Amino acid sequence: MIDVSLETHPLAPAGGPVARRRPPWRHVVGWLLMIGGVVAVLVAWYGISGTVDPGEQMPYLASGGLGGAAAIAIGAVLVVAGEHVRDRAALGLVLQRLDELERRLDPLVPGR
């Protein structure tokens, strides 16, 4: 019988279920970019709200607004890419286990 407990499961974190793992660099950089982007957009909004002259608003919009939006978008892409990498690794482990299970069951199937 195959042991499916959490402690021996191949997708469990190294060192058991309570072990802390370092987050992937993509997540850290992505979240920092998104937080920085939100701060830049808020600073730009505050700067734009202080004046009605479009000539004075444009620098805030160009630097904080567009730069902040770009930072948020790049950060979101990095976080999603980090999740994709983790999903691919988990899928690889599942496929390895399935191959092992098929290898063990092959002699038990009649007619093969």
**Domain boundaries, position 97:** 25-108
End-to-end C-alpha distance for the chain, whole angstroms = 22
Confirm whether 12 is domain-assigned: no
Q: With a cut of 60, say whether residue 48 has pLDDT above it.
A: yes
Q: Which of 1-10, 72-81, 97-106 has the highest mean pLDDT?
A: 72-81
Place of tokens 């370092």: 22
Confirm whether 10 is domain-assigned: no
How many distinct structural domains can be found in the chain?
1
Q: What percent of the chain has pLDDT over 90?
A: 42
pTM of the model: 0.66
Instruction: Give residue 18's pLDDT band: very low, low, confident or very high (50, 70, 90).
Output: very low
The DSSP string of 29-86 is: HHHHHHHHHHHHHHHHHHHHHT---HHHHHHHIIIIIHHHHHHHHHHHHHHHHHHHHH
Instruction: Give CA–CA dist 76/27, Å, rounded.
Output: 9
